[in-house]
């Protein structure tokens, strides 16, 4: 979603913890995108050093925002080495496997619990503007089609979560019993840290 990041406010998407694009470039003849330099360590490093409270309300929220971003972009290569933990929180990096035309079943899982702010952001996505933006960014027709199916699915699932009382207050991630009853390492990024993989 790197091309989309600069235009995210236009489509009603303002997902925190997404790296801003600095410039388009060419590296060894291959179109590339340069992004801002981050100061921090990988999530893998932080797990190995036991230097983070993975149950912390804000940390869980940040990782859930990354998971929502990955649903929108179809990111199929999210792992502990491509999340950088900065002083402001974790940030997803390495988006070169985003926007696949076929998303594997075990990737890009919509979080089983979201908070009210996330619900509002997801439901405010303007799908027609998002589609136009993807086309302007140069995605192929199959990539746009797959991306729009993911965005529509995300909105539909967010509404289901609201209807099923699986939308919590933004400050309730640590305290919510839903974290224990609905979240596991297969469906929730933050839960992958809890077992210390």
Block mean pLDDT (10 aa), the chain, length 197: 39 47 56 62 65 73 89 84 79 80 72 95 93 88 93 95 97 88 86 62
- The per-residue pLDDT for 27 is 57
Q: Are 163 and 51 a contacting pair, CB within 8 Å?
A: no
Counting runs of H as helices and runs of E as strands, what totals does the chain give? 8, 7
pLDDT attached to residue 3: 42
User: pLDDT at position 50, please?
Assistant: 61
C-alpha 81/C-alpha 68 separation (Å) is 18
Q: Where are the chain's structural domains?
A: 2-191
Return d(Cα 63, Cα 54) in angstroms, integer: 10
pLDDT of residue 121: 93
String of DSSP letters for 130-169: HHHHHHHTT--HHHHHHHHHHHHHHHHHHHHHHHTT-EE-
* Predicted model pTM: 0.78
What is the SS3 assignment for 188? coil
Decide: 33 and 148 in contact? Cβ < 8 Å. no
CB 178 within 8 A of CB 113: yes
Give the integer Cα–Cα distance in Å for 160 and 28. Answer: 46
pLDDT at 5: 39
Give the pLDDT of residue 192: 79
């Amino acid at each position: 979603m790197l091309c989309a990041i600069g235009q995210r406010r236009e489509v009603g998407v303002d997902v925190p913890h997404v790296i801003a694009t600095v410039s388009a470039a060419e590296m060894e003849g291959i179109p590339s995108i340069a992004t801002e330099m981050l100061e921090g360590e990988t999530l893998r490093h932080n797990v190995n050093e036991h230097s983070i409270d993975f149950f912390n309300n804000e940390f869980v929220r940040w990782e859930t925002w990354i998971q929502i971003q990955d649903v929108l972009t179809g990111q199929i290569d999210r792992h502990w080495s491509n999340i950088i933990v900065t002083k402001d929180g974790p940030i997803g990096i390495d988006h070169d496997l985003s926007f696949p035309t076929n998303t594997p079943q075990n990737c890009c899982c919509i979080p089983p619990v979201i908070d009210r702010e996330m619900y509002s952001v997801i439901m405010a996505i303007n799908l027609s503007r998002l589609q136009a933006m993807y086309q302007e960014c140069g995605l192929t027709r199959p990539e746009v089609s797959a991306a729009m199916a993911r965005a529509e699915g995300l909105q539909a699932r967010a509404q289901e979560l609201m209807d099923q009382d699986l939308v919590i207050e933004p400050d309730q991630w640590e305290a919510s019993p839903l974290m224990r009853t609905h979240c596991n390492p297969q469906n929730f990024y933050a839960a992958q840290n809890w077992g210390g993989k």
